[in-house]
Structure 1
Amino acid sequence: MAERTALITAGRESEDNLIKTIIQLASALVALMAGFITQKQLDFSIQGFLIFSVSISFFVISIIAALTEQFFSAQAYRQQLKLLEDYYGKVTDSFSEPAANKWVRKAKVTAFACFLIAILTLAILAVLQARGVNDGKRPPATPTTTTTPTAATAATAPAPTPTSSPAR
């Protein structure tokens, strides 16, 4: 019985760590993507913008689903404790699964699936952006150079003509 309890505890910790990792990575990627967009001028096509929007949306959905899983997990734990107390207190003779466990499973699967879809769409966007630069359809982003007024006037001034020197 002790081994079973240890395995159940390890399984729950593993699942909790997965959900916590999804929350952390998705939050960090949303923040990085938002920061990258504001700092860099990107030339998104309509297709690129749609893919970017889908990616951000699925990251946000995965964060919400993971937080929902954490909420229902805590609720299921409380329900499980109540059921155990009732069972060992001889209040009830049957033992059933807490109702919140169904929502825990659904939220966990949703969080993981949305996170995978978001990563996939972000990878597709990166490939499309790189392909656009390499195909010559869009020039690579280079900083613009400004010319000084003296260089601009020197470039537009007529070139001096050679004059014949006086004979000696």
Structure 2
Amino acid sequence: MTVLRKMLLPLLAACALLLTSCSASIKDYAQTHPTLDIFTYFAGDTVAYGMVQDYSHKQTRRFTAKIHGDVVADTLTLHEDFVYDDGEKQTRVWRIRKLADGTYTGTAGDIIGTATGQSAGNAFNWKYVMDVKSGGSTYRLTFDDWIYQQDEQHLFNVTSLRKFGVEVARVTLFFEKK
């Protein structure tokens, strides 16, 4: 290994660590409005329009989703039906609980373990792990969803999909309350 390589490798590793550790905090949104209450927003029918971008920001897929939410006590159940531009259909059913401390946990059939969430102001941050199929392979990815309420009818969602801390894809969604 050359001297230059010996010097560059630690520097690149430090830069990668610094870049992956920098992110917004849910507390940054505490004073923003309107205040997002996911139980209120997702009760009833919602439609979403979205796209997936790869690591180079090239759009790789588009989709729509019809979402129906039911709230019973401390649990929001979301029935999500996705249709992708290539004709693939997917269904996911989330069961999201609001805990006494104001945080959220959730499960769905294709989610690994339990999702966790926090809300402040107009923002909601939702984190979970899921196996994603692509090109005949399956990849275990970490999802970091940031949902922002624009107004009473509209939400924006940006999701970073990461493998080993490195963003490999991004999903952007626009929700409309029906």
Q: Determine if the TM-score, normalized by the shorter chain, exceeds 0.5.
A: no
TM-score bracket, shorter-length normalisation? under 0.3
Which of the pair has more CA radius of gyration? 1
